[in-house]
A = this chain, B = another copy of it.
Amino acid sequence: MAGPEIESLIRQLSKLPGLGPRSARRVALALIKRRETLLDPLIQTLGAAAETVKICSSCGNYDSQDPCAICEDPRRDGTIICVVEDVADLWALERTASFRGRYHVTGGLLSPLDGIGPGDLKLDLLLTRARNSEVKEIILALSATVDGQTTAHYIAERLQETETTVSGLAHGVPIGGELDYLDDGTISAALKARRPV
């Protein structure tokens, strides 16, 4: 149909998350059509990312510097570490601008069914950081799924030997959520954790 270079571009694009063969074709065509405004800048930014982005050896975040800007920022509170599963979760928390401590990215959740054990997550590094007397609190901001809660329990147990307080995110009614549409688990959790108005 199209030339081999276009075909392999479409094939490569369709491997990206959220892009199927149809949208990959659309993106490829847009890239070819708008070479100066889309294709060339994209090649450049992809190249720059491939060259400079690395994993922070302290917290597991992605940045152009190691340690990352968050670990290096003296204005951030070094006494609190927020544990997240993935850099995407770290970004989500940063967008809220409501956390000013530091992070630790585990790189996944414990999942016996998928063969992911404690050795596959960056937990030893977290323990080393938690043993630092500066650290007072560890917030476990993991998914409210079975794997997420299993992992949270496991981490909390491992952290008992340190002198940190371990906390987790609150469960309850999401902001803007209608009771009618919420699942039973969330409603019971919100009821149990009710607070004086």
A: residues with CB less than 8 A from B are: 1-6, 8-9, 12-13, 15-19, 23, 25-33, 35, 37-43, 45-53, 61-65, 68-69, 86-88, 91, 94-95
Contacts A8-B45, A64-B5 hold; do A87 and B53 have CB atoms under 8 A apart? no
User: Majority SS of interface residues in chain A?
Assistant: helix
The answer to whether B25 and A62 touch across the interface, beta carbons within 8 angstroms, is no
Distance to closest chain B CB from A70 (angstroms): 9
Contacts of A4 in B (CB 8 A): 64
**Cross-chain contact of A3 among B12, B40, B43, B64 (Cβ < 8 A):** B64
Q: Do A9 and B49 touch across chains, with their CB atoms under 8 A apart? A: yes
Residues of B within 8 A of A37 (CB): 15
Q: How far is the CA of A126 from the CA of B121 in the complex (A)?
A: 62
